[in-house]
Amino acid sequence: MKIQFENKEIPVTFLSSDHKIIPRVLYALQARNRVERRNPLYDPEQLERIEVIGTEVYLYAKSGGDSSKVYLSLHG
């Protein structure tokens, strides 16, 4: 499955979760992006894929030839 975020299609894989969690994933991405605009944890332009495991989200990005992984929790 792919989602649209920051005018980019990003592949999403699910483990122990399903597509019903996508609205929460998008909300978390948008909230994190707004809060950390000056010193972002991840660059939306470099985001390659998203992995959802239960209520945990892993963002995979490529920066300067290296891959990096950022963790987000969807718990309240």
pTM to 2 decimals? Answer: 0.75
| pLDDT bracket for residue 40 (50, 70, 90) | low
> Mean pLDDT for the chain?
80
Three-state DSSP class for residue 51: strand
Give 36's pLDDT tier (boundaries 50, 70, 90).
low
Q: For residue 66, give Cα distances in angstroms to 18, 23, 45, 60.
A: 29, 29, 15, 10
Give pLDDT tens digits for 15-29: 887 778 888 888 888
